[in-house]
Amino acid sequence: MGIRFILMVNKQGQTRLAQYYEWLTLEERRALEGEIVRKCLARNEQQCSFVEHRNYKIVYRRYASLFFLVGVDNDENELAILEFIHLLVETMDRHFGNVCELDIMFHLEKAHFMLEEMVMNGSIVETSKANILSPIQLMDKAS
Amino acid sequence: MGSQGGFYQSKEFLDLVKSIGEARSKAEEDRIVLNEIETLKRRISEPDIPKRKMKEYIIRLVYIEMLGHDASFGYIHAVKMTHDDSLLVKRTGYLAVTLFLNEDHDLIILIVNTIQKDLKSDNYLVVCAALNAVCKLINEETIPAVLPQVMELLAHPKEAVRKKAIMALHRFYQKSPSSVSHLVSNFRKRLCDNDPGVMGATLCPLFELIARDVNSYKDLVISFVSILKQVAERRLSKAYDCHQMPAPFIQIKLLKILALLGSGDKQASENMYTVVGDIFRKCDSSSNIGNAVLYECICCVSSIYPNPKLLESAADVISRFLKSDSHNLKYMGIDALGRLIKISPEIAEQHQLAVIDCLEDPDDTLKRKTFELLYKMTKSTNVEVIVDRMIDYMISISDNHYKTEIASRCVELAEQFAPSNQWFIQTMNRVFEHAGDLVNIKVAHSLMRLIAEGFGEDDDNADSKLRSSAVESYLRILGEPKLPSVFLQVICWVLGEYGTADGMFSASDITGKLCDVAEAYSNDETVKAYATTALMKIYAFEIAARRKVDMLPECQSLMEELLASHSTDLQQRAYELQAVIGLDAHAVECIMPSDASCEDIEVDRDLSFLNDYIQEAIEKGAQPYIPESERSGMLNISNFRNQDHHEASSHGLRFEAYELPKPALQSRIPQALIASTEIVPVPEPMYPRESYQTTMPSIPSDAGSAELKLRLEGVQKKWGRPTYTPATSTSNSTSQKTVNGTSQGDGASTVSSMRETYDSRKPQVEVSHEKQKLAASLFGGSSKTEKRPATGHKAAKASSHMVEKSHVPKSSMEVASDKAASAQQPPNLLDLGEPTATSTALQLDPFKQLEGLLDTTEVASAVNGAPAASVSPDIMALYVDTAAGIHNKNDADLLSGLSNPSVTNMPGTTAMPQVTQSSSKRPNPKDSLEKDALVRQMGVNPSSQNPNLFKDLLG
């Protein structure tokens, strides 16, 4: 499975984007988000960017006010996931230009579309920014 | 694109987002969202909403759910939006639907049709959107509806479509492997897609397929190696580069795959050495992604057949990781070290200090990782320090999940490497005291078993010392307030069994304590039950020793209370106790022999002692017994079920595509049924007869355990009159059992008898476990080391500076097989809480069946094609079943083994390497077979040198 979920949370702990690759009910999501956001936000810069939680790991990275959290299986390569987060941010940056929290909020569906291109079935399937963005740009043009 | 939204976002939407963004507390956010829900509920069902507006509403719904509130009132509108012509609107609809619905939601049916239509669209972006939805929304039942189209799309001219189609097929495989098992060769084909993106995506399903069945993909080693080589040589488009690393994510995936394929396979590994060595050299260790690839290389190197040069490179990288200031790299270093020490234990030594630093680090993540490493490095020389540390840490944390894990690890290590019994008991006491209720109940049972069996040394003296020290410590611990229930159960059991054994404590001491326990934990019935049975044992031993029994007053009042208890279990135990006390010494000795918890209790599952009797009856013209499952009429029932099944599925969903994937439908019929319908019919009538004659003695265990699940085939059902036969024999068997029953009074004493049945069952169960065990014994524990690593340093800290590095020789083989053996340990003893009841039922059942059916044999045997003349056709039938089942498996394996290579047509792979590889693999299976034999042996005699009972907790 690899990736179980991807969350974007601001530093107040408010969810800005959530994508799950295994089904959780609304209550489960709420509980899980509360739990791990609390855990990750409490950590400082020097500590590792990985947190073990139940039977999986969370790899997280902070960009300005926004935390990107990715829940992965235990045998996933943490550094690679860290790089994946960076790739996601770079991609959004390329599309929005200096991406910020508000860009994601106002264009939630686009952020999701990018994720849809990058990750399927919990596996990373596309890492070329051009390939990730081309369908979105085509759609923009069409409408 | 400004951050303030595009042209078509309404003021309302902007305001909503702003107010959510500015909310200063969760409560404020909730208020905003609840308000929004009210607004949307009103607005969304208004007629003639323009689609732009609708799209905005749907995104607002997504917000509502994302912030933790229910938006189900709007799901249907999201579904409707997927019908829209505009691509953007459609895709937003699909997105919302995938976020809102799980694959079993009722509304999915409404979407399947749209998906089918969109998969045929000329616009490839529409097709992509539909394929995204397929990956998230299609469940096992709806796979057939879209499968043919997805298959067509695998050859679509657009690479984006091919990629998504592959992932859709991957999803089907994850959901229901059997429905696409005939299509997995497509993954191999797509591996040589011209587009690197498609190839990269194909690695995901291939990784999973290979993880499940390595051997069928050994022929791809060369291809993977050559792809990896090309990637490393920057032959792929620059678009895939990350920080000057060529396609690192593809490299990582390939390294993961190679690690699987090369594991324990020398020849396959040899193909990989060069390319992995190249990557080690080329990787840029200053970037994060470079280190990610390096780490993956280490994982690969430590998984494949060892190569000294690569190990050296790996060790270099590890030491660089550990020396780095970055906690992330330290973490990876510790993890990598844990992998590598299995192969080259000596490298741990040079990193002692770094490891200790990580252990003391305030960062919890790093600390835990280091504990994991220590756990892997534990030897009998360092077990005390490590376990001590672990328990201290366990006490300090509050996360129950991790507490449980670390507790079971402590138990396991203590079990495996305990230097002395004293220490062992103390350690277990600490674990139970602080994490008792978190520890798996099996651990408690194993502890009891261990105290009962001793440490396996044939030294009764040591065993009884162990028990005495246990009893002593338990009596002391009982003074503490609020002990975990599991721990109390152990204490009660041990006190009952051994409390008075060494004469240190009198019966009244022990019974007094036991009564205190029962009183203090009066709302815990399990503890009370254990205490009662312990009391019974103490009194029984007293009576058997011809001592006068004086029941303490508190004990008497306890008994009075229990005799009137609402719990029938407690009541029965109390009555039993009463009955035992009333018996004379001789009788008590028989039913409650002292220190007999390890004695085997033989249960004659086949009731062979009745053979003569049955023979006689048959000679007098009685009909032989036919097991229930074979009796007539079952066919009809199973057919009904089949029909039901078909009907149900056709009721639920009707798609045109339904005719096509027959196999998918069948797959939902329980495995067992398939076996019986497809494989059994022809050979069955002949085969059993012969095998019965020749293999009679070995059958029983098979037959008993094969479970009565199959044989629903080819028999007509008719009910017969009850006959006289079983009356006497039943009473016979029960009387035999009551003897067992009483001595089994408390669950734990049946340990050994249980183990026996489990062992006899093993041959069957193993068919599936075999592979896992094989894998475990091949690479899992195969290189457990004896070298004494970093913790020597800690021992030094603990003041004994001169601790010698004594090596306790224990071959890795032994460890491996121990591990595997422990996996077979009988699970929860409480299953046997009331052995009397279960075993009676087990044995009585056949008679009931016999009763009803003595006169139906003719029909049955006619169908079987052979006149049944023996006592136990059921046994034969079952035997055949299992045989057929096994055959079936083998056949399937062979077939798949055959078909797979034949389907493939890989570039750069010819038939040649395949052949050579398979022959080169040969030594391995042989080795593993030997190991497996050993494992089995160990499983049968678990009281070996190093009883490793807890491995199974750590799957």
User: Per-residue pLDDT tens for B587-645?
Assistant: 888 777 776 676 667 777 777 788 888 888 888 888 887 777 777 655 555 444 444 44
Tokens representing residue B818 in the block? 């121990």
Pick A139's closest partner by Cβ from B63, B69, B87: B87
User: Per-residue pLDDT tens for B158-191?
Assistant: 999 999 999 999 999 999 999 888 898 999 999 9
Asked whether the predicted pLDDT for residue B781 surpasses 90, the reply is: no
pLDDT, residue B632, reads 62
Pick A120's closest partner by Cβ from B91, B135, B401: B135
Q: State the DSSP code for B622.
A: P
Mean local confidence (pLDDT), B507-533 = 88
Asked whether the predicted pLDDT for residue B518 surpasses 90, the reply is: no
Mean local confidence (pLDDT), A16-33 = 93
Determine contact: A91 vs chain B, CB below 8 A. Answer: no
Please give the Cα distance from B311 to B318 (Å, whole number). Answer: 10
Rounded alpha-carbon distances, angstroms, from residue B385 to A11, B333, B419, B623, B791: 40, 22, 12, 68, 8
DSSP string, B794-833: HHHHTT-TT---------HHHHHHHHHHHHTS---GGGGS
Please give the Cα distance from B422 to B745 (Å, whole number). Answer: 29
Q: How confident is the model at residue B380 (pLDDT cuts 50, 70, 90)?
A: confident
Enumerate the residues of chain B whose CB falls inside 8 A of the CB of residue A95: 1
Q: How confident is the model at residue B788 (pLDDT cuts 50, 70, 90)?
A: very low
Non-local (6+) Cβ contacts of B13 within 8 A are B5, B56, B59, B60
> Which runs of consecutive H residues, i.e. helices, occur in B245-341?
248-262, 266-282, 288-303, 308-323, 327-340
User: Per-residue pLDDT tens for A41-96?
Assistant: 889 888 999 998 888 899 999 998 899 999 999 889 999 999 999 999 999 999 99
Of B408-422, B571-585, B648-662, least confident by mean pLDDT is B648-662
> Distance of alpha carbon B383 from its chain centroid, rounded?
27
Tell me the average pLDDT of chain B: 73
Write down the number of H helices and E strands in chain B: 45, 0
B924 burial level (CB within 10 Å; 0-12, 13-18, 19+): middle
- Shortest distance between the Cα of A138 and any Cα of chain B, in A, equals 9
What single letter denotes the amino acid at residue B445? H
Annotated domain spans of chain A: 3-142
Tell me the average pLDDT of chain A: 92
Non-local (6+) Cβ contacts of B752 within 8 A are B597, B598, B599, B600, B601
Q: Closest-CA residue in chain B for A114?
A: B95
Please give the Cα distance from A81 to A72 (Å, whole number). Answer: 8
Question: Burial letters for A92-130: b for 16+ Cβ neighbours within 10 Å, e otherwise?
Answer: beebbeebbbbbbbbbbbbbbbbbbbbbbbbbbbbbbbe
Please give the Cα distance from B267 to B118 (Å, whole number). Answer: 47
pLDDT, residue B207, reads 95
Residues of chain A by 3-state class (helix, strand, coil), percent to 5: 45, 25, 30
Q: Which of B144, B70, B83 is nearest to B110 (CA)?
A: B83
Determine, for residues B197 and A95 on separate chains, whether the beta-carbon distance falls below 8 Å: no
Q: Which fold has domain A3-142?
A: Beta-Lactamase (3.30.450)
- Shortest distance between the Cα of A142 and any Cα of chain B, in A, equals 8
Residues of chain B by 3-state class (helix, strand, coil), percent to 5: 70, 0, 30
Asked whether the predicted pLDDT for residue B263 surpasses 80, the reply is: yes
Determine, for residues A126 and B289 on separate chains, whether the beta-carbon distance falls below 8 Å: no
Residue count of chain B, please give it. 955
Rounded alpha-carbon distances, angstroms, from residue B98 to A17, B139, B899: 14, 13, 36
**Percent of chain B beyond pLDDT 90?**
30
Contact (Cβ atoms closer than 8 angstroms) between residue B542 and residue B549: yes
Q: Which of B937, B944, B938, B935 is nearest to B458 (CA)?
A: B944
Q: Closest-CA residue in chain A for B65?
A: A26
Q: How confident is the model at residue B118 (pLDDT cuts 50, 70, 90)?
A: very high
pLDDT, residue B457, reads 60
Of B52-61, B259-268, B375-384, B891-900, least confident by mean pLDDT is B891-900
Rounded alpha-carbon distances, angstroms, from residue B282 to A139, B272, B279, B337: 40, 16, 5, 21
Q: How many CA atoms lie within 13 Å of B378's alpha carbon, on the beta-carbon side?
A: 26
Enumerate the residues of chain B whose CB falls inside 8 A of the CB of residue A80: 248-249, 252, 289, 292, 296
H-helix or E-strand spanning residue A60: strand A56-63
Beta bridge partners of residue A51, listed in sequence order = A58
DSSP string, B124-140: HHHHHHHHHHHHHH--T
Rounded alpha-carbon distances, angstroms, from residue A44 to A61, B362, B485, B662: 11, 11, 39, 56
Asked whether the predicted pLDDT for residue A17 surpasses 60, the reply is: yes
* Alpha-carbon torsion (B301, B303, B305, B306), positive or negative: positive
Enumerate the residues of chain A whose CB falls inside 8 A of the CB of residue B242: 83, 87, 127
Q: How confident is the model at residue B882 (pLDDT cuts 50, 70, 90)?
A: very low
H-helix or E-strand spanning residue B895: helix B873-903
pLDDT, residue B275, reads 95
Asked whether the predicted pLDDT for residue B204 surpasses 90, the reply is: yes
Write down the number of H helices and E strands in chain A: 5, 7
Determine contact: A68 vs chain B, CB below 8 A. Answer: no
Determine, for residues A126 and B201 on separate chains, whether the beta-carbon distance falls below 8 Å: yes
Q: Which of A103, A16, A105 is nearest to B1 (CA)?
A: A103
Pick A46's closest partner by Cβ from B135, B249, B327: B327
Report which of residues B802 and B235 the model is more confident about: B235
Please give the Cα distance from B324 to A46 (Å, whole number). Answer: 12
Asked whether the predicted pLDDT for residue B33 surpasses 80, the reply is: yes
Q: A residues 109-138 near B, CB within 8 Å?
A: 109, 112-113, 116, 120-121, 123-131, 135, 138
Please give the Cα distance from B472 to B470 (Å, whole number). Answer: 5
Please give the Cα distance from B625 to B611 (Å, whole number). Answer: 12
Enumerate the residues of chain A whose CB falls inside 8 A of the CB of residue B328: 48-50, 78-79, 82
User: Per-residue pLDDT tens for B278-324?
Assistant: 999 988 888 999 999 999 999 999 999 999 999 999 999 999 999 99
B18, B64, B88, B317: best to mutate for the A interface, most A CBs within 10 A: B88
**Percent of chain B beyond pLDDT 70?**
64
User: Per-residue pLDDT tens for B930-940?
Assistant: 555 554 555 44
Rounded alpha-carbon distances, angstroms, from residue B99 to B35, B58, B77, B92: 22, 11, 13, 10
Mean local confidence (pLDDT), B803-827 = 43
Pick A106's closest partner by Cβ from B5, B24, B69: B5
Between strands A119-120 and A123-124, the pairing is: antiparallel
pLDDT, residue B726, reads 41
pLDDT, residue B756, reads 41
Give me the phi and psi of B805, to 5 degrees please: -90, 65
Pick A97's closest partner by Cβ from B1, B240, B328: B1
User: Per-residue pLDDT tens for B680-733?
Assistant: 334 343 444 444 444 344 444 444 444 444 444 444 444 444 444 443 443 444
pLDDT, residue B36, reads 94
Asked whether the predicted pLDDT for residue B671 surpasses 60, the reply is: no
Non-local (6+) Cβ contacts of B799 within 8 A are none
Q: Closest-CA residue in chain B for A52?
A: B365
